[in-house]
């Protein structure tokens, strides 16, 4: 029995050694991907948290930083950590020149060396048992294509009054202390921050080119995470919330201003035509579009009647009105965007 255990430990040790030397060639148990754009001043905290993950000695895993065309010192930060990285998990640096969160995530999926890929934003700090909780949950639920984290905010300054009404728009997710599955009929999808995906589910279900590509330095158009998850869910995979996968979202004061929050709400609202129609059969889309537009108009009118002039003073109410209005305009916006993209392609 002792010889068997010693032999097993040697094999595990050799796997860890080869995974450090050749991470792209050795099949691992888990990949942690961190897409980042100009996150040099934020990455250190995330990497520090990953070095303190507990109960991972029997796992073979890796960390991949996806540099999404950064112009700051992100490469130097990763290089510094690579020199001092003393964990069994290798730390890899990958560059993705096409800016947009969707492109960075696609790159991560294609370079990952494991069947499970966990995504962390450069401002989300995982708890010390985040990784092992994700790994164990995935093995208990093999039909789970996406597993979402429990995300709480760490605010630099106090959020505006009634902030809880729009907290989910900043990827804050609190759905209780028990796991739950997102039913397709609910039309609710978790944020991508902290999500763990079955790599096979992504490769089989998510198109290489998404319609929504994510926020960039010049655009706040959001929804790329919802679009990806909807593709996976539509393919028959389950989407789950696991409260044991705990994250803290670092939210600076600049993201709590009315100006930023309204831009965020506008970007989310303008993407809604795509995310709404994606979960509906093609033949149902024309009547559902009319129903969605009627409901958006109802929300706008009810909101204005309820808050009246308070919208001027109430940051959250103003953001909600922006979201409803942008949602109503989303079909026209997406149609105009599509025509513009087709014209650009025809000129090439």
CATH code for the domain in which residue 99 is found: 3.90.550.10
For 222-244, the pLDDT digits (tens) are 888 899 999 999 999 999 999 99
Measured between alpha carbons, how far is residue 304 from residues 210, 258, 267, 309, 346 in Å? 35, 18, 21, 8, 43
**Which segment of 21-30, 36-45, 162-171 scores lowest on mean pLDDT?**
21-30
169 with 311, same domain: the answer is: no
59 with 145, same domain: the answer is: yes
Q: What number is the average pLDDT over the span 265-292?
A: 93
pTM score, whole prediction: 0.88
333 pLDDT tier (thresholds 50, 70, 90): very high
For 62-82, the pLDDT digits (tens) are 999 999 999 999 999 999 999
State the Cα–Cα distance between residues 133 and 249, nearest whole angstrom: 18
Q: Give the structural domain span for 286.
A: 264-347
217 with 330, same domain: the answer is: no
Could you say which of 231, 256, 281 is where a domain stops?
Answer: 256
81 with 223, same domain: the answer is: yes
214 with 145, same domain: the answer is: yes
Please choose, from the candidates 182, 188, 189, 125, the residue with its C-alpha nearest in 3D space to the C-alpha of residue 151: 125
Could you say which of 256, 275, 295 is where a domain stops?
Answer: 256
164 with 226, same domain: the answer is: yes
249 with 278, same domain: the answer is: no
As a whole-number percent, the residues of the chain with pLDDT over 70 amount to 90
69 with 181, same domain: the answer is: yes
Taking the CB of residue 9, how many other CB atoms lie within 10 A of it? Answer: 11
Q: Which residue has the higher pLDDT, 80 or 346?
A: 80
18 with 101, same domain: the answer is: yes
| Class of residue 104 by CB neighbours under 10 A (exposed 0-12, middle 13-18, buried 19+) | buried
40 with 134, same domain: the answer is: yes
172 with 307, same domain: the answer is: no
Q: Tell whether the model's pLDDT for residue 129 goes beyond 70.
A: yes
239 with 272, same domain: the answer is: no
Could you say which of 240, 256, 272 is where a domain stops?
Answer: 256
Q: Tell whether the model's pLDDT for residue 279 goes beyond 70.
A: yes
């Amino acid at each position: 029995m002792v010889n068997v255990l010693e032999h097993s430990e040697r094999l595990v040790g050799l796997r860890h050694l080869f995974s450090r030397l050749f991470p792209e060639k050795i099949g691992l148990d888990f990949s942690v991907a961190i897409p980042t754009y100009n996150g040099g001043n934020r990455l250190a905290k995330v990497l520090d948290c990953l070095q303190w993950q507990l109960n991972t000695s029997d796992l073979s895993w890796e960390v991949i930083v996806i540099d999404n065309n950064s112009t700051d010192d992100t490469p130097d930060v990763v290089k510094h950590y690579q020199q001092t990285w003393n964990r069994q998990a290798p730390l890899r640096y990958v560059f993705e020149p096409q800016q947009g969160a969707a492109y960075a995530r696609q790159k991560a999926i294609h370079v990952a060396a494991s069947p499970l890929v966990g995504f962390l934003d450069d401002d989300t700090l995982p708890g010390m048992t985040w990784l092992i909780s994700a790994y164990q949950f995935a093995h208990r639920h093999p039909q789970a294509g996406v597993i979402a984290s429990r995300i709480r905010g760490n605010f630099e300054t106090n959020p505006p009054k009634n902030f809880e009404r729009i907290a989910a728009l900043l990827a804050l997710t609190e759905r209780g202390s028990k796991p739950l599955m997102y039913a397709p009929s609910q039309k609710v999808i978790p944020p991508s921050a902290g999500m763990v995906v079955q790599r096979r589910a992504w490769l089989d279900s998510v198109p290489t080119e998404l319609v929504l590509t994510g926020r960039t330095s010049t655009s706040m158009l959001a929804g790329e995470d919802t679009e990806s998850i909807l593709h996976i869910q539509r393919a028959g995979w389950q989407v789950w919330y696991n409260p044991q996968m705990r994250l803290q979202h670092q939210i600076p004061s600049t993201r709590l201003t009315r100006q930023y929050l309204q831009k965020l709400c506008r970007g989310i609202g303008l993407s809604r035509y795509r995310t709404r129609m994606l979960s509906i059969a093609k033949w149902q889309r024309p009547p559902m579009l009319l129903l969605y537009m009627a409901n958006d108009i109802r929300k706008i009118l009810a909101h204005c009647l309820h808050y009246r002039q308070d919208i001027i003073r109430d940051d959250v109410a103003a953001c909600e009105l922006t979201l409803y209005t942008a949602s109503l305009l989303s079909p026209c916006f997406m149609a105009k965007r599509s025509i513009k993209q087709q014209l650009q392609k025809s000129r090439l």
